[in-house]
Amino acid sequence: MNTEPERKFGVVVVGVGRAGSVRMRDLRNPHPSSAFLNLIGFVSRRELGSIDGVQQISLEDALSSQEVEVAYICSESSSHENYIRQFLHAGKHVLVEYPMTLSLAAAQELWELAEQKGKVLHEEHVELLMEEFAFLKKEVVGKDLLKGSLLFTAGPLEKERFGFPAFSGISRLTWLVSLFGELSLVSATLEERKEDQYMKMTVCLETEKKSPLTWIEEKGPGLKRNRYLSFHFKSGSLENVPNVGINKNIFLKDQNIFVQKLLGQFSEKELAAEKKRILHCLGLAEEIQKHCCSRK
């Protein structure tokens, strides 16, 4: 991306919560990838008028404007599918925060639509751009996994807005799949105490070589945002990740990847492998949800 941009893609940011605000900041700062992008405005359900000189525009205007060529979807997860569909139909490229949808069928349909329209559909996975993940990737390479577990704790999260925990927590599943390959579901349970805003999802998975992996999402008041992991290999074990430094500009790194896609700098093979991983994870998340709901 050292080349001078011949043209800039007009961008609109949909949803200006935590992720949307970071996206707008990155778009307005002089980064190599931001040079290819021109922030035209933002869409929000709230009446905000403008943020730091960036104008709010209506969804209708964002969809119909010739100037807008790219949409960043940063709204709550339950609205992603609808926004992606509308922007693809309007002939725009789409970057969406994970999870892109809350069902596998919807994701497959939207991917087909993007391919039909010749547009980039990019699902953000900043967890794969973290220092901890880079450390883990190096650690597990060439090792035979015997068993492993990954526990994530955090404060309460509304299922209605962010989806079932297997979807809202899909970044943890993406870690496991990216480290150990495609996984299959053995069992899944969900323990919930709505009056206490507490939930715990326990998922048993296995690798293609039948090594067991346990994934737990636990959310409730007073639980700190934390990740605990333990991987046992034939050659030793790994308990939690040492402090490997601060994750700098991970959303910007994700934007760099998106711009490379806009410029056609990714091979078909790389794009196909990424799509396969994303659909595999969404398929597993859906299977986990069905498993938990059928047991109630």
Mean pLDDT of the chain: 94
* pLDDT score for 5: 66
From first CA to last CA, the distance across the chain in angstroms is: 51
Task: Return the CATH number of the domain spanning residue range 9-124.
Answer: 3.40.50.720
DSSP E strands: which ranges in 125-171? 145-154
- Is the pLDDT assigned to residue 241 strictly greater than 90? no
Alpha-carbon distance of 145 to 137, in angstroms, equals: 13
Is 78 labeled as ligand-binding? yes
Alpha-carbon distance of 30 to 27, in angstroms, equals: 8
* pLDDT score for 7: 77
Q: Per-residue pLDDT averaged across 215-228, rounded?
A: 95
Is 77 labeled as ligand-binding? yes
Look up the pTM and report it: 0.94
Query: Taking the domains of the chain in order of start, what are their residue ranges?
Result: 9-124, 128-245+283-294
Is 74 labeled as ligand-binding? no
Over pLDDT 70: what percentage of the chain? 98
Give tens-digit pLDDT for 170-213: 999 999 999 999 999 999 999 999 999 999 999 999 999 999 99
Is 198 labeled as ligand-binding? no
Alpha-carbon distance of 93 to 117, in angstroms, equals: 9
Is 31 labeled as ligand-binding? no
Facing residues of 232 across strands?
147, 237
Is 204 labeled as ligand-binding? no
The CATH number for 128-245+283-294, chosen from 2.70.98.30, 3.30.360.10, 1.10.760.10, 3.20.20.210, is 3.30.360.10
Give tens-digit pLDDT for 30-53: 888 999 999 999 999 999 999 999
Alpha-carbon distance of 275 to 2, in angstroms, equals: 27
Residues identified as active-site: 97-98, 124, 127, 171-172
